Amino acid sequence: MTTPVPGPVRPPATVRPDDARRALVAGSVGNFIEWYEFGIYGYFATVIAAQFFTPEGGSEVEGLVKAYASFALAFFFRPVGAAVFGRFGDRVGRRPALVVVVCLMTGATAMIGLLPTYASIGAAAPWLLTLLRILQGLSAGGEFGGAVSVMTECAPPGRRGRYGAWQSFTVALGLLAGAAVAVVLASVLTASQLHGWGWRVPFLLTLPLGLVALRLRLRLPPDEPPARVPGGRVPGGRAEGGTGPEGGTGPEGGPRPRPGETARAVVLGIGRMMGWSAAGYTFLVVMPSYVQSTLGATFQQALLGTVLANLGFAASILPAGGLSDRIGRRTVMVAGALLVAVLALPLLHLVQDPGAPGYAKGAALFAAGAGVGLMAGPGPAMLAEMFPARVRCTGLGLAYALSNAVFSGCAGLIITEVVARTGNVDVPGYYAAATCAVSVAALLTLRGDDHDRPLR
């Protein structure tokens, strides 16, 4: 736990309501596209594996593992994107960084929908897909830091948790939109049509979505980079006072970073959101392929279960963010991590039970998603409060990207490979429970009044 070092605290400037709403919408829309894309890749993982990673006569499980390896590789480029675009956002400005990342994400995703398959060009197909996944990882790494910085810095007093929660809420909306598109395609197309060309449709839909996001971000008011603003003011006009991990004051009144303190804050941030990352991907993205390959469910049944989990996730995010503005981030996030840690295995056993009624399985998946939402709602504001404005894009972006790279991006690969090697179908439950248990310990280091302190 870090003890704040006294520093010059200036009264926060007033943010115009129109600017606050514009920042909220522009920050949210790009995140929606990012998670829509990551959702459809997870939902269509078995189809993508067949089209790009399974030569004729190849093993379906091996193809799925390779598809998830490509999925994981993109996540490991997220920290690179967070460092590059985070630094860009901290030094040049939030708006230009957000414009660049949404263009990169939209272009790479739309190109996936145009790629030739293994049957057409052979071994070049999976390499081209992986290259585009790398570009997506770079853009996604830069998205979170810039979007959350803008949304929390422009939030009205006492509402950072709710404003930051919209970032997580658009995660749920993006995943639900991807699931809805997948359900519609699976319902109206035959299996051969879906494998032949139907899987391309959801990727191509990102093109018009991206153009809308670009227009909204170009309408953001120009912001002055906090690293060049006298007094360390952030783009929303709030003053950068106090210190935290960085401590001390610079020649312009802003914080002078101490060597290693920002890095330690990034590591602590990873621990605090580890459970959110791992449990979120386990229950919200990986589950469709798991229940198909392990439990023998149909594609439609798997997607229905995922929709229910994402509905639970979406239903709890904004209330959790708002509640954290009143009682603190620590209380709400610890409750969510404990809930998932304790209930992950019992809920998974219920889903696995062939004799359990359908409504009980649906309720279990809804509850699992809601537990993740309790962590995801206050999470963005919690991360924003850990870093001063001069390194906020970079610091919170790196914490988020590294946590997702290790505990989200590898979730499908780890779960599929371990289940295949051991035959233990409880692996997803163990994975979610263990990571949430570690997060509880890290979250307990939060101060109870962080939500009442001004952003630095």
| The pLDDT value given to residue 225 | 60
From the list 272, 363, 323, 243, the residue with the least C-alpha distance to 3 is 243
Q: Could you give the angle at the alpha carbon of 264 between the alpha carbons of 258 and 267, nearest 5°?
A: 155
| The pLDDT value given to residue 232 | 47
Q: How crowded is residue 361: how many other Cβ atoms within 10 Å of its Cβ?
A: 20
- Band (pLDDT 50/70/90 cuts) for residue 325 is very high
Q: Is the pLDDT of residue 59 over 90?
A: no
> What CATH number is given to the structural domain containing 436?
1.20.1250.20
| The pLDDT value given to residue 268 | 93
- Band (pLDDT 50/70/90 cuts) for residue 407 is confident
- Band (pLDDT 50/70/90 cuts) for residue 16 is low
d(CA 313, CA 309): 6
- Band (pLDDT 50/70/90 cuts) for residue 251 is very low
- Band (pLDDT 50/70/90 cuts) for residue 266 is very high
- Band (pLDDT 50/70/90 cuts) for residue 434 is very high
Q: Is the pLDDT of residue 13 over 50?
A: no
Q: What is the DSSP string of 90-146?
A: HHT-HHHHHHHHHHHHHHHHHHHTT---HHHHTTHHHHHHHHHHHHHHHHHHHHHHH
- Band (pLDDT 50/70/90 cuts) for residue 11 is very low
Tokens 């190849």 belong to 58
d(CA 181, CA 40): 8
Q: Is the pLDDT of residue 253 over 70?
A: no
Highest average pLDDT, of 19-23, 211-215, 310-314, 316-320, comes from 316-320
- Band (pLDDT 50/70/90 cuts) for residue 1 is very low
- Band (pLDDT 50/70/90 cuts) for residue 15 is low
**289-301 as b/e, with b when 16 or more CB fall inside 10 Å?**
bbbbbbeebebeb
d(CA 455, CA 182): 40
| The pLDDT value given to residue 335 | 94
Measure the CA dihedral 338/343/345/351, to 10°.
Answer: -140
Q: Does residue 325 fall inside a structural domain? A: yes
Show the domain range for 64: 17-221+260-451
| The pLDDT value given to residue 249 | 43
Tens digits of residue pLDDT in 279-320? 888 887 777 666 666 667 776 777 777 788 888 989 999 999
Percentage of the chain beyond pLDDT 90 is: 18
Q: Does residue 352 fall inside a structural domain? A: yes
Q: Does residue 33 fall inside a structural domain? A: yes
- Band (pLDDT 50/70/90 cuts) for residue 360 is confident
Measure the CA dihedral 334/336/340/342, to 10°.
Answer: 50
Q: Does residue 293 fall inside a structural domain? A: yes
Reported pTM: 0.76
Q: Which residue has the higher pLDDT, 222 or 365?
A: 365
d(CA 277, CA 335): 16
Q: Which residue has the higher pLDDT, 90 or 60?
A: 90
Q: Does residue 36 fall inside a structural domain? A: yes
Count of domains forming the chain: 1
449, burial (CB in 10 Å: exposed 0-12, middle 13-18, buried 19+) = exposed
Q: Does residue 434 fall inside a structural domain? A: yes
Q: Does residue 6 fall inside a structural domain? A: no
| The pLDDT value given to residue 230 | 47
Tens digits of residue pLDDT in 110-121? 998 899 988 888
- Band (pLDDT 50/70/90 cuts) for residue 155 is confident
The average pLDDT across 52-76 equals 68
Whether the CA torsion 254, 258, 259, 264 is positive or negative: it is: negative
Q: Does residue 151 fall inside a structural domain? A: yes
Q: Is the pLDDT of residue 252 over 60?
A: no
From the list 71, 75, 99, the residue with the least C-alpha distance to 85 is 99
In whole numbers, what is the pLDDT of the chain averaged over residues?
A: 80
- Band (pLDDT 50/70/90 cuts) for residue 270 is very high
d(CA 134, CA 177): 23
| The pLDDT value given to residue 293 | 65
